[in-house]
Amino acid sequence: MHKLEGPELTAALAQLSAWTFDPQRHAIRRALRFADFNAAFGFMTRVALEAERRNHHPEWSNVYHRVDITLTTHDAGGLTERDVALARWIDAAASAAGAEPT
């Protein structure tokens, strides 16, 4: 995996309009709000299972109905296609779970 930079990075970020790029960490972030804690935790469980299957794990936190997610590939020193692919999967799972942006 190589770190996305230049036109590759621009193209990847264009696909992820719900995510915010953090240039300092070369990572993407997204905050989601769910109906309640159970919905948030259920979403996190689904993401955890998929992340484990992909051997690529998010940095995240959960407070009641809110889930904050950061994706970056530490081994590559920043955002890679692995992060972009997992972000797209997360977007679909969040939509299916009825999540709203914060």
pTM reported for the whole predicted model: 0.95
Q: Report yes or no on 25 lying in a domain.
A: no
Reported as a pLDDT band with limits 50, 70 and 90, residue 1 is confident
pLDDT tens, position by position, 5-22: 999 999 999 999 999 999
The values of phi and psi at residue 40, to 5°, are -65, -45
Q: Report yes or no on 14 lying in a domain.
A: no
Q: Report yes or no on 23 lying in a domain.
A: no
| 49-82: burial string, b at 16+ Cβ within 10 Å, e else | eebeeeebebebebeebebebbbbbeebebbbeb
Q: Provide the domain count of the chain.
A: 1
Is the pLDDT reported for residue 94 higher than 90?
A: yes
- Both tokens of residue 73? 């590939």
Say which CATH number the domain at 40 has: 3.30.1360.20
The values of phi and psi at residue 35, to 5°, are -60, -35
Range of the structural domain that residue 70 is part of: 30-97
Predicted local distance difference test score (pLDDT) of residue 19:
98
Q: Using N-to-C axis directions, what is the helix angle for 81-96 and 37-54, rounded to 10°?
A: 150
In a 3-state reduction of DSSP, which class is residue 58?
Answer: coil
pLDDT tens, position by position, 17-59: 999 999 999 999 999 999 999 999 999 999 999 999 999 999 9
pLDDT tens, position by position, 56-68: 999 999 999 999 9
